[in-house]
Structure 1
Amino acid sequence: MKTLYLMRHAKSSWSFNDLSDKERPLNDRGRCDAPVMGQALAKRNIRPGLLVSSGAVRALSTAALVAKELEYPSDQIQVVDDIYGADVDGLLHIIQQLPDQAESVLLVGHNNTITDTANALSPSPLNEMPTAAVVCLHFHTDSWAQVHRTNAEFYFFDTPKNNEA
């Protein structure tokens, strides 16, 4: 069985007009929400075998903050630049190329592609994923190349609002 955690990056800042979209950092809320979601995943005893992130600053920062809460070494986060700007087919291709040694993968990316990919794979429809939201899907296969809606099982959907104190 393969387990995929799709995460939308945390809230980013629009305050820096001189930065490209790919360089935009997290804002204060994003820097707060990412660790909250990491803690929520840790409470579920989730320890991904592989953490993959877009190379965009806001996604990579989200991945690093979550990794810290999961005690996942930040230097082992795999950056896949093609996640940034990918459409659903592109993201599915990236997922289907993941190494089969990894039983579980946390992938941090961007909307609308994260929500649309979750809906393409999930047997249960999802509304738009808010920033820092995570959806978990199990796949009844031993190969990432075989990941598909037909062998998927929806496991959970979580957001920062669900984890507010």
Structure 2
Amino acid sequence: MKTLFLVRHAKSSRGDPTLPDRERPLDDRGRRDAPSMGKRLAKRDVKPELIVSSPALRALTTAQLVADEIGYARGDIVVDDRLYASSASNLLAVIRALDKKLDRVMLFGHNPEFTDLAHRLSSEIIDMPTCAVAEFRFDTKAWSDVGDVEPANAMLEGPKR
């Protein structure tokens, strides 16, 4: 069984229009939502073996805040440029290339590509608000099967406000 978590970054600030897109930080709501979501995941005993994040500050900060709550070392977060300004197809290629020894992987990134991929994997998911987590369980031994096999289970969890 392979479990994939797609996590859209928490709410970001647009307060400084001079900042490049990659450097936009989380706003106050985002700084509250990310640890809160991490605590909710920790209560469900979510323990990814690998966390991969977009290099954008808002995504990486979200990953770090969630990691703190679920007991995943910040230094072990892998930053991958392919998760920034990507497409659902490119994200799927990243997932399919994951080491089959890994069973639980969490990716942090952006819309619209995260919603597009989530919807592609499960037609029931039509939108991922900021800091939402889409969880997919695949009855397979290889990540290369993701996208070809229907998930055995899919769920979306949004932030509580």
Task: Check the 8 A contact 1:115/1:126 in 2, yes or no.
Answer: yes
CA shift for structure 1 position 125: 1.5
Match of 2:45 in 1: 45
Task: Check the 8 A contact 1:120/1:149 in 2, yes or no.
Answer: no
Matched, 1:158 2:157: yes
Q: How does 1:102-113 map to 2 (within 5 A)?
A: 102-113=102-113
Residues 23-45 of structure 1 show CA distances to partners (whole Å, capped at 9, x for unaligned) of 10000000000001101101111
TM-score, normalised to structure 2's length?
Answer: 0.96
Q: CA RMSD in A?
A: 1.1
TM-score, normalised to structure 1's length?
Answer: 0.94
Task: Check the 8 A contact 1:98/1:144 in 2, yes or no.
Answer: yes
Match of 2:131 in 1: 132
Match of 1:32 in 2: 32
Work out the CA distance in 2 between the residues paired with 1:71 and 1:38. 9
Work out the CA distance in 1 between the residues paired with 2:150 and 2:114. 19
Work out the CA distance in 1 between the residues paired with 2:125 and 2:148. 13
Gapped runs of 5+ residues in structure 1? none
Q: CA separation of 1:78/1:12 partners in 2, compared to 1, >3 Å: closer, same or farther?
A: same
CA shift for structure 1 position 153: 2.2
Sequence identity (%):
47
Work out the CA distance in 2 between the residues paired with 1:158 and 1:86. 23
Match of 2:101 in 1: 101
CA shift for structure 1 position 149: 5.1
Work out the CA distance in 2 between the residues paired with 1:96 and 1:150. 12
Gapped runs of 5+ residues in structure 2? none
Residues 31-70 of structure 1 show CA distances to partners (whole Å, capped at 9, x for unaligned) of 0000011011011111001111000000000000000000
Task: Please state whether the residue corresponding to 2:154 is helix, strand or coil.
Answer: strand
Higher mean displacement: 97-106 or 19-28:
97-106
Name the amino acid aligned to 1:133.
Answer: A
CA shift for structure 1 position 152: 1.1
Task: Check the 8 A contact 1:34/1:65 in 2, yes or no.
Answer: yes
Work out the CA distance in 2 between the residues paired with 1:156 and 1:125. 9
Match of 1:85 in 2: 85
Aligned residues: 161
